[in-house]
Amino acid sequence: MGVEPHHYRFHSRWRLDCEPRLAYDMLADVASYPSWWPQVRAVRQLDDLSGELRCRSLLPYDLTFVIRRDVEDPVEMVLRARMTGDLAGTSQWSIDAVDGETVAVFDEDVVVRKALVRRAGLLVRPALRFNHDLMMRSGEHGLQRHLAAIGA
């Protein structure tokens, strides 16, 4: 079976200088992402469980999608959401203390539905992966700066 050109699985690990519970609270507060994550350009709350995000990194287009929270577990420190729109699938944050530091693991399993990207097919895969990695590194650094600014 060949590579499905529009299907992506991403995995990122952030090391954060704060208590795990604070990392969980910051990542659960999706509405605050644009204040510390440069590529999350806008968030619009739709109801208690869902919101619309608009993201843009280096590539010359926005991805707009709705996330609907499936799991919000402050005991296990897991946040899971379903996504529809330009991205369709699932994303999950898992926060834990590992060897004395806080680690936030992000896993995403999505299909890109944006027509512009779909037309490019396999040609754009390396650029999309690079773009996603850059966005995640920038988010980690942005959250670290934000945590330092609030004295966490």
Tell me the domain boundaries of the chain. Answer: 7-149
- Residue 39 · residue 57 · CB < 8 Å: yes
What's the rounded Cα separation, in Å, for the pair 112 and 107? 15
**pLDDT over 90 (residue 116):** no
What is the CATH superfamily name and number for domain 7-149? START domain (3.30.530.20)
Q: How many CB atoms lie within 10 A of CB 129?
A: 12
Give the residue with greater pLDDT, 123 vs 14: 14
The larger pLDDT score, comparing residue 91 to residue 2, is at 91
Average pLDDT over residues 107-120: 83
Computed over its alpha carbons, how large is the radius of gyration of the chain? 15
Is residue 120 predicted with pLDDT exceeding 70? Answer: no
Global pTM value? 0.90
